[in-house]
Amino acid sequence: MCGIIGYVGEKEAVPILIKGLETLEYRGYDSAGVCVSVSEELNVIKKKGKIAELKQLPELSQINGNVGIAHTRWATHGEPNEINAHPHTDSKKEIAIVHNGIIENYYTLKKLLEDEGYNIVSETDSEIIAHLISKFYSGNLEEATMKALHFVEGAFGLVIMHSRERKIVAARKGSPLVIGIGNGEMFVASDITALMEHTKRVIYLNDDEIATLTPNNYSIKTLDGKEIDKNIDEIKWTVDQMEKGGFKHFMLKEIFEQPESIRNILRGRVKDNSVNLTLDFDFKEIEKIVLVACGTSWHSALIGKHFIEKLVRIPVEVDYASEFRYRDPLLDEKSLVVAISQSGETADTLAAIKEAKKKKAKTIGIVNVVGSSITREVSSGIYLHAGPEIGVASTKAFTSQVVALLLLSLYLRKEKNLSIDKEILDGLESLPEMIEKVLDSSEEIKKIAEKLKDKKNFLYLGRGLNFPTALEGALKLKEISYIHAEGYPAAEMKHGPIALIDDDMPVVFVCPKDDTYKKIMSNMEEVKARKGNIVAVINEKDDKISELAEHVIEVPKTSELLSPIVNSIPLQLFAYYIADFKGCDIDKPRNLAKSVTVE
Ligand code: F6R
């Protein structure tokens, strides 16, 4: 949510900053801006809209300087326009800041600064930080920032520069920042993707830390001024993983990467009819498990509840991370709280884990991004190893999360000295192949998408393990095509949503050949009787299905527990093709951002 990059070195800053912003654009794209210091003067250039629009400004090529900061915005305070775009400066135009997060005591600070004569020009909460630092500035940017932040409540990932200091200062509380260490140059960014082209050596800032970067040096302190020695981590992702690789969109590439991402999560973890994970808690002490997540990750948690309760017979609660903290959850040292997050930076999920720790619960993370904030908060976890997910709509991370939850359940079963069903392990091993078969039918799915692309509403129905699949299918469609779609448990339809069904309402049924099959067929009959337009995701065609459904998508039959994974793939493709036919900006859907780092 909002992308930040800063540079200090010997090279021209503008091209580095713009390239960095392009990499970070998936974090927000309402407006963008850069600030570069030239001959002790700050040059700020901002533009409403995407980075491509900023890039076209001729004045951009006229600023030469080798210290700079830049930002791509996802609006929280104030509409997306040029004045509200970052960087923001103080009134003397000596200090410029870019900010990710929310300043909670913004009104109080604004009033205080205005009473002292400061002229605040934008509607953002961020601008006040520039004025506050200016108020405390007396020749040392780092010191002034520490003093100013003492008065700030809320979340920030903040990068600051001063026209007369050849350095960048970065401070973090709640919103991620990572330092990139180069040769004779230093970088700071809101995530590693912007740094990968320049360096693999990074330092993750923790909350309440401040870094000061000069071309050849860095120092990291706590916000109250104590020096800290931090580890340098190595980025494992490669630059070509960040390219579209011939696909029209990152989302499509990531859908097609799923056989590989599933192989990656299984590698080394399923061996000799057993499951090996390195988790740092004594399972025998655990009496209840709580899965916390947001959005698509929350859908994987719903599937995980089925897995754990069926295989391990421990009660599992699934919570929206954003709700969890505020209901004073019943937790103690016998509870295990599992945070599920692709980015590892979702503010609500991070806050949920902190709450769990406060209540002495054990914590683990199921996370894709190595070194992200959640991974540093939990005591151990399962990395997805899915590679970078750039498309805003999550696809490969979702299927890997479901596999991770199944691995966790099997591991807990092993800890309970229960046997692990060979059919599940074989199923896991053949999963990449199954997914490849579904991907082979992408052209047929595309044809169905073309026929239905102009519909205004969709209903997605599934039962049991595939109710979350229906929720996820509906979410994919609405977020990238802007078509209204709802997921429901199939049998619940007759308690209300059935009123919506007419001959203009496509209903997507997830209908695997399992214990729920017959019941779902009855639900299909109910839809058909009301002239609904049925799309059925099935395992094998039979006469009954052919009679009821206008469109049929066949997927291979797997072991029951794996069916949500296989069934999700056609729904991802279906949503993708509809959005593509409609000409939507698939990788950057309106109003969305890849990682939501504000609560
Ligand atoms: C939907 C989507 C979002 C995320 C949610 C949580 O396609 O991507 O709903 O799943 O914002 O993000 P993470 O998993 O990064 O915590």
Together in a domain, 445 and 576: yes
Atom of ligand 1 nearest to the CA of 595: 15
pLDDT band for 1, please (50, 70, 90 cuts). low
- Contact (CB, 8 A) for 15 and 39: no
Q: Which residues of 343-355 are buried (b: 16+ CB within 10 A; e: fewer)?
A: bbbbbbbbbbbeb
Residues 228 and 271 in one domain: no
Same domain, 122 and 181: yes
Residue 597 forms part of a structural domain:
no
Q: How do residues 344-386 score in pLDDT, each as one tens digit?
A: 999 999 999 999 999 999 999 999 999 899 999 999 999 999 9
Token pair 């897995």: residue? 307
Considering the domain boundaries, does residue 90 fall inside one?
A: yes
| CATH number for the domain that contains residue 131 | 3.60.20.10
- pLDDT bin (cut points 50, 70, 90) of residue 481 is very high
| 3-state SS class at 402 | helix
The mean pLDDT of 74-89, rounded to a whole number, is 84
Domain end point (choices 406, 421, 440): 440
pLDDT in tens, 181-210: 999 999 999 989 899 999 999 999 999 999
Instruction: Name the residue of 250, 348, 349, 394 to mutate for ligand 1: max ligand atoms within 8 A of Cβ.
Output: 394
Q: How confident is the model at residue 469 (pLDDT cuts 50, 70, 90)?
A: very high
Q: Domain tally for the chain?
A: 3
- The rounded Å distance from CA 297 to ligand 1 centre is 6
Please say if 594 is a catalytic residue.
Answer: yes
Mean pLDDT to the nearest integer, 431-459 = 97
pLDDT of residue 214: 98
Both 401 and 355 in one domain: the answer is yes
Angle at which helices 396-415 and 563-581 pack, to 10 degrees? Answer: 170
pLDDT of residue 388: 93
**Same domain for 204 and 114:** yes
Lowest-confidence segment of 401-405, 466-470, 595-599 by average pLDDT: 595-599
Q: Is the pLDDT confidence value at 480 over 70? A: yes
Residue after which a domain boundary falls, among 414, 440, 466: 440
Same domain, 498 and 394: no
Give residue 82's domain range: 3-235
Query: In the annotation, is 584 catalytic?
Result: no
Quote the pLDDT of residue 299.
98
Whether residue 522 lies inside any domain: the answer is: yes
Q: Assess if residue 595 is contained within a domain.
A: no
Residues with CB under 6 A from ligand 1: 294-297, 341-343, 346, 349, 393-394, 475, 479, 595-596
* The pLDDT of residue 8: 98
Residue closest via CA to ligand 1's atom 7 equals 393
DSSP 122: S
Q: Which of 274-278, 362-366, 530-534 has the highest mean pLDDT?
A: 362-366
- Confirm whether 558 is domain-assigned: yes
pLDDT, tens only, 3-29:
899 999 999 999 999 999 998 877 767
Q: Which of 440, 465, 488 is the last residue of a domain?
A: 440
Residue with tokens 């003397």: 92
Q: Is residue 98 classed as helix, strand or coil in its secondary structure?
A: strand
- Atom of ligand 1 minimally distant from the CA of 349: 16
- Let me know: does 549 contact 535? Beta carbons within 8 Å: yes
Report the pLDDT value the prediction gives residue 432, as an integer from 0 to 100.
Answer: 97
The pLDDT value recorded for residue 211 is 98
* Ligand 1 centroid, distance to 471 Cα (angstroms): 13
Mean pLDDT over the full length of the chain: 93
Q: Please check whether residues 67 and 190 belong to one and the same domain.
A: yes
**What pLDDT was estimated at residue 199?**
96
Which tops the pLDDT comparison, 590 or 365?
Answer: 365
Active-site hit among 2, 294, 511, 584: 2
404 CA from centroid of ligand 1 (Å): 16
pLDDT of residue 130: 97
Question: Residue 343 carries which side chain, given as an amino acid letter?
Answer: S
pLDDT given for residue 219 in this prediction: 97
Q: What is the percentage of the chain residues whose pLDDT exceeds 90?
A: 81
181 and 318 belong to one structural domain: no
Query: What pLDDT is recorded for position 242?
Result: 81
What is the CATH number for 255? 3.40.50.10490
Mutate to test the pocket of ligand 1, among 175, 297, 595 (most ligand atoms within 8 A of CB): 297
Query: What pTM value is reported for the model?
Result: 0.87
Q: Which is more confident, 519 or 583?
A: 583
In this structure, are 73 and 204 located in the same domain? yes
pLDDT digits (tens, 9 = 90+) for 221-267: 999 999 999 999 999 888 888 888 899 999 999 999 999 999 999 99
Say how far apart CA 366 and CA 384 lie, in whole Å: 7
Query: DSSP characters for 541-553?
Result: --HHHHHH-SEEE
Are 20 and 164 contained in the same domain? yes
pLDDT exceeds cutoff 70 at 332: yes
d(CA 564, CA 400): 12
Confidence class of residue 215 from pLDDT cuts 50, 70 and 90? very high
Q: What is the DSSP code string of 229-257?
A: --PPEE----GGGGS-TT-SSHHHHHHHT
pLDDT at 589: 87
